[in-house]
């Protein structure tokens, strides 16, 4: 690939999604673009990139961005945050939100849905404690393709073998041909929608919990700060922010501090 093409792609992805492509990802550009080259009948990679650069076609740019996202996910990924959600955060909120009987969770960068559906399964197991409550999960992602998959609630055998206890598979999924489809009783907790984390989330309004795991790890320091400041705007003053295992707010913003629950769970800093 020509240097100017690589640079164009790196800038396009960073400016539109925040994601800074790693060296390994740069090697993958050609492979990831191949289906789009076939779709748009371009034989050479430089022809395709020129086409993207000059077409002014936003839908095409979105397809290009989608093709380079890292969508790796699994059910109950790194189980600890889910245990903390079940054993500590949920009991706290059930006590503190007695007046409103409302809990809102935002799962930001939800990929194909395993993370919000894992949370929904936990909520469902506690439904006897939430009679008359309004408990919902808003799950967002920048990739339209992955959101379509998430909304379908359809998972392959391989996907359900990753992290999902067999008892939950049997209880909450129906077999359909070679796939497994999540039941409506779980699906109904989750609303999927497009949202770019570089945008201002203020209109989303009041969340009790924000899960944003393994997303900002790929962002520049400046964009990490922008996203975290966005979470501050939409989190209730006693809400929780849950980041991925190798992500932190430290050195990026003083708006959050460690909760006394676990390393990757943050609360609003007293001075914020």
Residues in contact with ligand SAM by the rule CB under 6 A: 17-19, 69-73, 77, 109-111, 115, 141-143, 146, 196-198, 213-215, 244
Q: What is the dihedral of CA 106, 191, 216, 73, to 10 degrees?
A: 120
| Least distance CB 22 / ligand SAM (angstroms) | 12
**Quick one: 12 or 110, whose CB is closer to ligand SAM?**
110
**Quick one: 70 or 262, whose CB is closer to ligand SAM?**
70
**Quick one: 34 or 194, whose CB is closer to ligand SAM?**
194
Nearest to 215 by CA among 235, 178, 244: 244
Cα(first)–Cα(last) distance of the chain, in Å?
A: 47
Tokens representing 62 are 């979105």
**Quick one: 208 or 223, whose CB is closer to ligand SAM?**
223
Contact 192, 140 (CB under 8 A): yes
In DSSP terms, which residues pair with 180 in a beta bridge? Answer: 155, 175
| Least distance CB 246 / ligand SAM (angstroms) | 11
Strand, coil or helix: what is 21?
Answer: coil
**Quick one: 198 or 272, whose CB is closer to ligand SAM?**
198
| Least distance CB 49 / ligand SAM (angstroms) | 21
**Quick one: 19 or 49, whose CB is closer to ligand SAM?**
19
**Quick one: 198 or 269, whose CB is closer to ligand SAM?**
198
Nearest to 114 by CA among 50, 186, 167: 186
| Least distance CB 60 / ligand SAM (angstroms) | 17
**Stated length of the chain:** 272
Enumerate residues 6+ apart whose C-beta is below 8 A from 78: 213, 244, 245
| Least distance CB 196 / ligand SAM (angstroms) | 5
Cβ count within 10 A of residue 184:
9
| Least distance CB 271 / ligand SAM (angstroms) | 28
Half-sphere exposure of 250 (CA within 13 A, CB side): 8
Half-sphere exposure of 225 (CA within 13 A, CB side): 7
| Least distance CB 153 / ligand SAM (angstroms) | 16
């Amino acid at each position: 690939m020509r240097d100017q093409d690589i640079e164009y792609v790196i800038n396009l992805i960073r400016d539109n999604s925040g994601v800074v492509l790693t060296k390994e990802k740069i090697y993958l550009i050609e492979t990831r673009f191949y289906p789009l080259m076939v779709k748009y009948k371009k034989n050479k990679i430089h022809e395709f990139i020129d086409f993207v650069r000059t077409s002014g076609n936003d839908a095409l740019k979105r397809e290009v961005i989608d093709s380079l996202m890292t969508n790796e996910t699994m059910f109950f990924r790194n189980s600890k945050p889910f245990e903390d959600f079940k054993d500590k955060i949920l009991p706290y909120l059930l006590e503190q939100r007695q007046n409103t009987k409302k809990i809102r969770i935002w799962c930001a960068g939800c990929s194909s849905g395993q993370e919000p559906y894992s949370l929904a399964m936990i909520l469902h197991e506690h439904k006897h404690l939430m009679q008359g409550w309004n408990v919902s999960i808003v799950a967002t992602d920048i990739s339209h393709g992955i959101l379509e998959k998430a909304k379908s609630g359809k998972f392959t055998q391989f996907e359900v073998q990753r992290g999902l206890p067999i008892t939950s598979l049997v209880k909450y999924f129906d077999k359909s041909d070679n796939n497994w489809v999540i039941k409506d009783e779980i699906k109904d907790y989750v609303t999927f929608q497009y949202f770019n984390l570089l945008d201002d989330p203020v209109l989303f309004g009041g969340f009790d919990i924000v899960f944003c795991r393994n997303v900002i790890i790929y962002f520049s320091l400046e964009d990490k700060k922008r996203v975290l400041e966005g979470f501050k705007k939409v989190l209730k003053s006693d809400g929780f922010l849950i980041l991925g295992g190798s992500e932190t707010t430290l050195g990026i913003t003083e708006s959050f501090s460690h909760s006394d629950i676990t390393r990757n769970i943050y609360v609003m800093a007293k001075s914020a």
